[in-house]
């Protein structure tokens, strides 16, 4: 009788091993791609052919179906990054670094799209491309934070060192984002008492909610798919870096 | 195609912009994955 | 405590021994403020209306510009490595450096602000409010700045990165700082802004030294301590 001393490979340990992570999640990619494509097809069909124009905003309500999901992702991706940052700092989980790095440019892109669609929606409904209201302003600041994080990643040569420092910055940013949101809301309501938005607003009929929900899930799954592929690439890139370093050392000796 | 009303250019612009953004993201992700995989093969990686 | 005070003394002596840095920042602050009339025209009414904002932007920019000298010289001459081995926790060293940063790069600006107030035709009441809001807000700017400098100190070419990282985080300070000076929407809002600003400064002073110490410690070593 012998005592088994090898560490148990539970799912958490498996996820912590980059090679195992790639092997485990690779079969998920194609189903995710198919699901995302299907959701987008259904969402676009509903958005253009199977939903009425809003009685107040007219057809411009259709911009909402791309605006709201991207705006949601701009915050959801930051949440993903903050959770990954905790994973880096508290558990030193190797995949958390990778997830943090993969998410930053995706978040910046979705935030930029949210701002773009928001300003195109604002022009016909408010009569201006840019309004310094609370939501647009804090989204713009969020975009700056994303771009700062991307710049911080790119400035480091040593990716392990970068991961810990970016994690600290991401968490400080996460603490700051609600403060920024609060201060910007306070500032914008004082400057323009007649707010464009009303708290209760017009109730949305179900025919508008259907395409909104479908597009919402389509964009969320798009993010998950891209994030997974980008994480696999990042794992490979680290392998490339190790091999290159090894090759350089071999040539030198 | 349905009638988009008087603000059609804004709606089409928004969708085109998001389409371009998403296409660029997908394109970059695929390109980066291919490039890194090719580099890995070039370096003669033994691991799968 | 003696270690804390000696860090403050050392950094103060260094800042004033060279002399150049403090004067350069002061000059930058004044020049930014003085350049505005050339950009918007010498309209006294307009200038006095935007004067508080101009003073705040000038202070904001000059405090961001001075960030690179916060830890970089210590990194280059090895003092930072010694600080990490000292009995004094690194966060206490950073708190001392934040205090010195405030004394050498914020206090001179506040002292020089009467000059900008005169050339931008600020009235006396607004001027006192500006001084008050700068006094309350600059500690938070110094604390956030120290965090930005700590995050980028491990990067060789991190000079411009710290201001870019920190500026978005400093937006609430700017908003409440201006809110103290030009209370919009009733007299109660000025007091509210003042309280928010003071709360932000206290929170930033209390928390950022720890975050900055973590960033420096983990940026220097390969394995986290």
Cβ count near C6 (within 10 Å) = 12
**pLDDT by residue (tens digit) across A117-142?**
988 888 887 778 887 878 888 999 99
The reported pLDDT for the residue numbered A229 is 94
**CA atoms of C115 and C102, how far apart (whole Å):** 20
The phi and psi torsions of A58 (rounded to 5 degrees) equal: 70, -145
Distance from CA of B46 to the nearest CA of A (A): 11
Cβ contacts from A onto C, under 8 A: 85
The reported pLDDT for the residue numbered C218 is 81
**Among B23, C110, C128, C188, which residue's Cα sits nearest to residue A113?**
B23
**pLDDT by residue (tens digit) across C90-136?**
899 999 999 999 998 899 999 999 999 999 888 888 899 899 999 99
> What average pLDDT does range C50-71 have in this prediction?
88
What the block records as the tokens of A221 is 């799954």
**pLDDT by residue (tens digit) across B27-41?**
999 999 999 999 888
**CA atoms of C182 and B38, how far apart (whole Å):** 60
The reported pLDDT for the residue numbered C158 is 67
Helix C20-40 crosses helix C44-65 at what angle (to 10 degrees)?
Answer: 150
A160 touches chain C (CB under 8 A): yes
Domain boundaries, chain A: 38-191+202-249
From chain A, pick out residues whose CB is under 8 angstroms from the CB of B14: 63, 66-67, 116-117, 120-121
**CA atoms of A76 and A102, how far apart (whole Å):** 14
pLDDT(C157) > 90 = no
Chain-wide mean pLDDT for chain C? 86
Cβ count near A228 (within 10 Å) = 21
> What average pLDDT does range A166-188 have in this prediction?
89
Residue among A49, A117, A233 whose CB faces B36 most closely:
A233
The reported pLDDT for the residue numbered A194 is 41
Helix C90-101 crosses helix C68-76 at what angle (to 10 degrees)?
Answer: 130
Confidence of residue A2 (pLDDT cuts 50, 70, 90): low
Q: Which residues pair with A58 in a beta bridge?
A: A54
**pLDDT by residue (tens digit) across B7-29?**
788 888 889 999 999 999 999 99
Burial (CB count within 10 angstroms: exposed 0-12, middle 13-18, buried 19+), residue B27: exposed
Residues 64-103 of chain A whose Cβ lies under 8 A from any Cβ of chain C: 92
pLDDT(A6) > 90 = no
B21 touches chain A (CB under 8 A): yes
Confidence of residue C224 (pLDDT cuts 50, 70, 90): very low
The reported pLDDT for the residue numbered B28 is 94
**Among A152, A84, A106, which residue's Cα sits nearest to residue B29?**
A106
Q: Which residue has the higher pLDDT, C217 or A107?
A: A107
Write the DSSP assignment of A70-121 as a string of letters.
HHHHHHHHHHHHHHHHHIIIII--HHHHHHHHHHHHHHHHHHHHHHHHHHHH
B9 touches chain A (CB under 8 A): no
The reported pLDDT for the residue numbered A193 is 45
Query: What SS3 string covers chain C?
Result: CHHHHHHHHHHHHHHHHHCHHHHHHHHHHHHHHHHHHHHHCCCHHHHHHHHHHHHHHHHHHHHHHCCHHHHHHHHHCCHHHHHHHCCCCHHHHHHHHHHHHHHHHHHHHHHHHHHHHHHCCCCHHHHHHHHHHHHHHHHHHHHHHHHHHHHHCCCCCCCCHHHHHHHHHCHHHHHHHHHHHCCCCCHHHHHHHHHHHHHHHHHHHHHHHHHHHHHHHHHHCCCCC
Using the CB atoms, write b or e for C82-91: b if 16+ within 10 Å. ebbeeeebbb
The model's pTM is 0.89
Task: Identify the chains in contact with A, defined as 3+ C-beta pairs within 8 A.
Answer: B, C
**CA atoms of A74 and A92, how far apart (whole Å):** 25
A182 touches chain C (CB under 8 A): yes
pLDDT(A196) > 50 = no
**CA atoms of A24 and B33, how far apart (whole Å):** 17
Q: Does A168 sit within 8 Å of C215, measured CB to CB?
A: yes
The phi and psi torsions of A131 (rounded to 5 degrees) equal: -125, 130
What is each CA distance from A179 to A71, A183, C176, in whole angstroms?
Answer: 18, 6, 11
pLDDT(A173) > 70 = yes
The reported pLDDT for the residue numbered A56 is 64
> What average pLDDT does range A160-172 have in this prediction?
91
From chain C, pick out residues whose CB is under 8 angstroms from the CB of A169: 151, 165, 215
* Touching pair B, A by Cβ (3+ pairs < 8 Å): yes
Q: Which residues pair with A54 in a beta bridge?
A: A58
Q: For residues A86 and A80, is the Cβ–Cβ distance under 8 A? A: no
Q: For residues A47 and A62, is the Cβ–Cβ distance under 8 A? A: yes
The reported pLDDT for the residue numbered C23 is 86
**CA atoms of A60 and A62, how far apart (whole Å):** 5
The reported pLDDT for the residue numbered A195 is 40
């Amino acid at each position: 009788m012998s005592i088994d001393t090898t560490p148990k490979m539970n799912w958490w340990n498996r996820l912590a091993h980059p090679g195992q992570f790639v092997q485990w999640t690779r079969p998920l990619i194609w189903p995710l791609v198919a699901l995302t494509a299907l959701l987008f097809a259904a969402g676009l069909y509903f958005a253009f052919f199977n939903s009425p124009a809003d009685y107040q905003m007219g057809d411009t309500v259709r911009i909402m179906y791309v605006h709201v999901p991207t705006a949601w992702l701009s915050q959801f991706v930051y949440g993903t990054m903050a959770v990954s940052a905790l994973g880096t700092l508290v558990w030193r989980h190797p995949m958390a670094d990778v997830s943090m790095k993969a998410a930053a440019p995706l978040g910046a892109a979705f935030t930029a799209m949210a701002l773009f669609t928001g300003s195109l929606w604002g022009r016909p409904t408010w009569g201006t491309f840019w309004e310094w209201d609370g939501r647009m302003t804090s989204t713009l600041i969020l975009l700056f934070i994303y771009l700062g994080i991307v710049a911080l990643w790119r400035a480091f040569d040593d990716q392990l060192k970068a991961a810990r420092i970016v994690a600290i910055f991401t968490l400080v940013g996460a603490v700051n984002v609600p403060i920024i949101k609060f201060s910007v809301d306070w500032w914008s309501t004082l400057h323009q008492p007649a707010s464009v938005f009303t708290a209760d607003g017009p109730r949305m009929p179900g025919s508008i909610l259907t395409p909104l929900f479908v597009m919402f899930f389509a964009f969320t799954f798009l993010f998950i798919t891209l994030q997974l592929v980008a994480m696999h690439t990042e794992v490979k890139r680290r392998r490339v870096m190790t091999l290159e370093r090894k090759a350089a050392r071999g040539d030198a000796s | 195609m349905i009638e988009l009303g008087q603000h059609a250019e804004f709606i089409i612009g928004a969708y085109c912009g998001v389409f371009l953004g998403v296409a660029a993201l997908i394109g970059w992700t695929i390109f980066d994955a291919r490039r890194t995989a090719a580099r890995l093969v070039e370096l003669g990686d033994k691991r799968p | 405590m003696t270690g804390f005070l000696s860090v403050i003394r050392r950094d103060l002596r260094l800042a004033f021994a060279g002399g150049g840095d403090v004067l350069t920042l002061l000059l930058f602050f004044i020049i930014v403020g003085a350049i505005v009339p050339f950009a918007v025209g010498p309209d006294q009414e307009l200038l006095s209306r935007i004067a508080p904002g101009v003073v705040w932007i000038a202070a904001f920019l000059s405090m961001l510009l001075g960030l690179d000298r916060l830890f970089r010289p210590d990194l280059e001459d090895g003092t930072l490595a010694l600080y990490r081995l000292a009995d004094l926790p690194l966060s206490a060293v950073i708190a001392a450096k934040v205090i010195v940063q405030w004394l050498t790069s914020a206090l001179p600006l506040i002292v020089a602000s009467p000059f900008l107030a005169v050339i931008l035709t600020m009235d006396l009441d607004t001027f006192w409010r500006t001084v008050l809001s700068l006094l309350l807000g600059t500690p938070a700017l110094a604390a956030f700045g120290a965090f930005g400098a700590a995050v980028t100190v491990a990067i060789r070419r991190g000079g411009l990165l710290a201001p870019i990282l920190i500026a978005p985080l400093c937006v609430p300070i700017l908003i409440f700082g201006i809110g103290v000076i030009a209370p919009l929407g009733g007299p109660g809002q000025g007091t509210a802004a003042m309280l928010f600003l003071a709360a932000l400064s206290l929170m930033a002073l209390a928390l950022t030294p720890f975050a900055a110490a973590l960033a420096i410690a983990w940026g220097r070593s390969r394995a986290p301590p």
